[in-house]
Amino acid sequence: MWDFKEDLPAPGRAGDIEWAKIATEVLAFHNQEGGVIFFGLRNSDFKFLGARTPLDTKHFNDKIRKYVGDRFWVSFSRECIKPDQRYLGVALIPPRSHSHQRMLKDGPELQGKPIFRAGDLCVRIADETRIFRGTEAIHFAATRGMGASAATYAVDEPGFRILRPDYKQFVERITVCREIEKAVLSPRTFVTSLTGIGGVGKTALACWTTLLMYDRKAFDFIVSVSARDRSLTSAGIAAVTPTLSSLEDLLDQICEVTGFTEHKTLPADDRIAKVQNEILSQFKGLLLVDNLETVDDPKLIEFLEELPIPSRAILTSRKAKIRVANYPIDVGPFTEPEARDFLLETCRATGKEFLTDLSEAEKKVIVAACDRIPLVIEWFVGRAKDPSKALQLAERLASEGKHGEELLEFSFRRVYEEMNERQKATLQVLSLINRPLPIEALAVGADLDVHTAADVVEELNEYSLIERVYDDSYRDLVYALLPITSSFIYKQLARMPGRESHIRQKLTDWYSARDIKDSVQRELVQMVRRGERNPELALLEVADNFLQNRDVDSAEQFYKQALDRNPRSWKCHRELAEFYRHHRHEMAMTLHHYQQAAEFAPKHGPDRALIFREWGMVLKQSGMPGAHREAAEKLQIALNEIPHSVICRHALGDCYVKMSAFERAIETLRPLEDHPTYETRQKTRPLLEECYRGTNRLMELTELRRKMTDDA
């Protein structure tokens, strides 16, 4: 925050280059946190030499004003004046307020090149003054907190109009940023959609990516518009003026930025055609459309879905809107390290440095209580008065799940109002239970069947409201809400008399298995629903018990529940296949489940052999065209696994006989010709007799008949 110089430049034209250099250092200090320049000290060892150029504050500012303007005032004083008039000069440079300042005009030339150019950004980094120019300056301003002016755009020049980011310091989210960058540059998709709840950082990521593309010169032109109509301030939710409310606004912006202003006066349909055919398809453009969910114009969605090659678009919305050539990216909370970095940057930006002195464990507690959501962290820091009260607030948030009313309204109201009743009911169930729930529990609490509940969960994923994790107890995915989401949903639920008690009663009955009459069965089902037993195997056991009691309908119900729990379970498919084979006598369903069981069966071993053997046996009796050929294929696979299986070998040989494939039948059945079991010999020898006759093997046929006579 300080620098040292031996003397001040001469006041005449001879000192212009040195005064221009001082102007860069003054502006660099100003654009950071202010600073001090001492004149009359040697920089190498800080020895006092004394400045000799007579100067006062007015003259000092006059010399740098033509470069830095009069937007701030440098205080210059002469201290420690010696008898020979040598002195210590002290220039106090104030910090910037809301916006950074740039050079107003080109500097004098040095070795044929100007020291700096108009528009350059000077910044003090460590003990060095750095000058950024063009796209490098834009990128630095966007990522180092320099872009906090009230202007709408960070870049507004011919061909490029980019929204000014609303962050003071960008915390790069490595995984998400790389994913967005990949999506924008992917040759397979032309629309990148960032979805998530309000305040999670969609706009910040979109602006960062757009500035990155500008810096890389990846597009011929960039147009950005925002439909944001409100923002969350310390005083509550405030209205803001959107730059996009319809397709016409976007078309106007494209025409203005690209210089085709003559198209703005055309009728709507002609203007769309001109923009698509003469601008978007002829140049590689990038469109940034922020807060798309607030625009009620189907023509805008249609326009974005028909975006011509080679142009691209980045969209932010609380719900996925675009379906064609779309690369959807769910923007969730920060990771824990990202959240801690954001907490520290927010503290520094708001003058709450006392929070930076907290221990790492205490910082973890705070970001966890804020759900690692950027907007919640900002809200938290704004309300923190001192370290002890901050920790108390974090404890209340974690234990009670309560957040500010304006925060909840801002993040969720718009999304909640556009949901259907099934989606709301599912969220209400999750808001009541402080633990992840399996899909069956969600279905019961929301009065839905399991398949409908699964569809609803997929729909809710578009809003990025539900967290999905794999639970080892249930051997399946379970679903939960972030605490902040849960707080908002519960507030809506509390306004519906009797709804909470109805849901709780439904869940209590389900977990208690009151729908199961048999006490033994009920206890087993209770353990399954509570995650205390392997659900797949336990449900199969329940189904088997019902089958033994000849309750076929209940058995079928639990077989299907087991399969719903694990659709890739070969055991479930085989049990269902046998159920339909022996109890329902439905050949089509039997074959279907054996086919599924074979798909998920082990690659080798007796279990695989059992599935293919029984599948082949069913095919033999199916009466389908080519049944024996298909059965032979399955039985051969089984025999490869268990070559000593008499049943499998005999069935395979029988199939070959039915197909008149006598040579293969003889090869398969001959090991059973002299089998020690009389029944096996009696079933095998007639088949071999037919094979020997069919192949004119008279010697083998005569010997076989002798054996058959002896056995008789």
List of residues 6+ apart from 524 with CB closer than 8 A: 533, 538, 541, 542, 545
- Return d(Cα 550, Cα 564) in angstroms, integer: 23
Q: What is the structure's pLDDT at 150?
A: 34
* Per-residue exposure over 304-314, b if at least 16 CB sit within 10 Å of its own CB, e if not: bbebeeebbbb
Max Cα-Cα span within the chain: 142
**Which of 205-209, 211-215, 319-323, 457-461 shows the lowest mean pLDDT across its residues?**
319-323
Examine the pLDDT at 433 and tell me if it is beyond 50. yes
- pTM of this structure: 0.51
Beta bridge partner(s), residue 51: 87
pLDDT tens digits for 553-576? 988 988 888 887 788 889 999 999
Q: What does the alpha-carbon distance between residue 230 and residue 242 come to, in Å, rounded to a whole number? A: 9
Average pLDDT over residues 651-663: 92
Q: How many CB atoms lie within 10 A of CB 364?
A: 16
CA nearest neighbour of 197 among 389, 2, 467, 444: 467
Q: How confident is the model at residue 435 (pLDDT cuts 50, 70, 90)?
A: confident
287-296, 297-306, 478-487: range with lowest mean pLDDT: 478-487
Confidence at residue 149, expressed as pLDDT on a 0 to 100 scale: 36
Does residue 434 have a pLDDT over 50?
yes
Length of the chain: 712
The string of pLDDT tens digits covering residues 371-430 is 888 888 887 887 788 888 888 888 877 776 666 566 666 667 777 777 889 999 998 898
CA distance 460 to 293: 15
pLDDT for the residue numbered 539: 78
pLDDT in tens, 177-205: 999 999 999 888 889 999 887 788 898 99
* Tens-place pLDDT, residues 508-552: 888 888 877 777 677 777 776 776 566 677 778 888 888 888 889
Q: How many helices (H) and strands (E) does the chain have?
A: 29, 19
For residue 237, pLDDT beyond 60: no
Query: Mean pLDDT across the stretch 161-188?
Result: 86
Which of 104-118, 138-152, 178-192, 256-270 is predicted least confidently? 138-152
Q: How far separated are the first and last CA of the chain, in Å rounded?
A: 112
Q: Report the half-sphere exposure of 497 (CA within 13 A, side-chain side).
A: 0
Q: Are 40 and 48 in contact (CB under 8 A)?
A: yes
Mean pLDDT of the chain: 84
What are the residues whose beta carbons fall under 8 Å from the beta carbon of 359, sequence distance 6 or more? none
For 321, half-sphere exposure in the C-beta direction (CA atoms, 13 angstrom radius) is 29
Rounded alpha-carbon distances, angstroms, from residue 402 to 345, 396, 415, 463, 469: 24, 8, 19, 21, 24
Which tokens sit at 26? 């003054």
Determine the pLDDT at residue 579: 93
Q: Which residues make Cβ contacts (< 8 Å) with residue 93, sequence separation at least 6?
A: 26, 29, 30, 34, 35, 36, 37, 72, 74
pLDDT attached to residue 55: 83
CB count within 10 Å of CB 435 equals: 10
pLDDT at 79 over 70: yes
DSSP E strand boundaries for 381-484:
466-471, 476-481
Give the tokens for residue 248: 């016409």
Distance CA 271, CA 410 (A): 35
Residue range 23-61, pLDDT digits in tens? 999 999 988 888 999 999 988 888 888 998 888 888 888
What's the half-sphere exposure (Cβ side, CA atoms, 13 Å) at 103? 28
Residue 616: pLDDT above 60? Answer: yes
What is the pLDDT at residue 147? Answer: 38
CA gap 535, 531 in Å, rounded: 7
Amino acid 462: pLDDT: 66
What percentage of the chain reaches a pLDDT higher than 70? Answer: 90
The 10 Å Cβ neighbour count of residue 658 is 16
210 and 288 in contact (C-beta within 8 Å)?
A: yes
Residue-level pLDDT at 661: 92
pLDDT at 317 over 50: yes
pLDDT in tens, 97-109: 655 778 888 888 8
**pLDDT the model gives residue 145:** 45
Give the model's confidence band at 93: pLDDT under 50 very low, under 70 low, under 90 confident, else very high: very high
Q: Please tell me the predicted confidence (pLDDT) of residue 23.
A: 92
3-state secondary structure of 591: helix
